[in-house]
Structure 1
Amino acid sequence: MERKKLNILLIEDDRIEVIKLQRAIALEFKDFKFSLAKNGSEALNILQSEQYNIILLDLNMPDTNGLEFLTILKNNEDLKHIPVIVLTTSDNEKDIYECYKLGIAGYLLKPLKYEDYELKIKTIMKYWSLNEFIPL
């Protein structure tokens, strides 16, 4: 059975972080689609028209922030299965607790060096290769 393309939604408003992540993903995984939303509202609109295998989420964004987005996502029967990895500058224990309480797959503190992104993306891809993510 042929594996379908990994479809990643990044919700991030910092262009430098977007570039680092895109580069790290492209080096590690050749068959993927990468979509970008600059805030939670934009991401929710994107999720209405396309399915994703994983969401990479910044918490501190304008409009609908990461915690608001997570709450909406995890209360939606059609979307709550999508693994979410939080990439944020917030080391606030309350944020960390709330995110895990909402069912995230991981929580990574920024700023990450490019090499850190490479390592994290390799870990994500390892799980993908083991079919841990729900295929589209």
Structure 2
Amino acid sequence: MKELKVLMIDDDLINLKLLEVMIKKYGKFTTILQAKNGLDGLAVLEAEPVDLVLLDIVMPVMNGLEFLDNLHSREHIAHIPVIVLTTDETAKREALNKGAYDFMTKPIDYSDLQRKLDDVMNRT
């Protein structure tokens, strides 16, 4: 079985911890990486390929929408699916237009997250 890696990008440590617990419960990712903003997230992706990115929108330094623009301008990592997780429902259309694979509104419900993870893992 292939080892799967996920990168969580969020500036809120509590959100990262809650998401980490849910990802561990899901059980299909062997490596969970974290970044506190989009710029740090891009640096992680340049250093280590991942299978999925879970992305917050509202962050300092580089927000999630800027991250999506940067990700999709880099051919070697543009294929990585991104699920946007945010409290900002108004950003949904823009995130999807910028290439996000899917979108979830916080607070994240585990069963919804599990369905989205199953969907993206079955397509990749």
**Residue pair 1:86, 1:107 contacting (<8 A) in 2 also:** yes
Query: 2 CA distance for matches of 1:10 and 1:103?
Result: 17
Partner of 1:103: 99
* 1:1-136 matches, cutoff 5 A: 3-29=1-27, 31-92=29-90, 95-112=91-108, 116=109, 118-127=110-119, 130=122, 132-133=123-124
Number of aligned residue pairs: 124
SS of 2:89's equivalent in the other structure is: coil
Relative contact order higher in (CA < 8 Å, ≥ 6 apart): 1
SS of 1:24's equivalent in the other structure is: helix
**Residue pair 1:29, 1:125 contacting (<8 A) in 2 also:** no
**Residue pair 1:57, 1:86 contacting (<8 A) in 2 also:** yes
CA RMSD of aligned residues (A): 1.6
Runs of 5+ consecutive residues of structure 2 not aligned to the other structure: none
Residues 50 and 13 from structure 1, CA distance in 2 versus in 1: closer, same or farther, beyond 3 angstroms? same
Deviation at 1:103, TM superposition (A): 1.6
Return the index of the structure with the highest Cα Rg: 1
TM-score, scaled relative to structure 2: 0.91
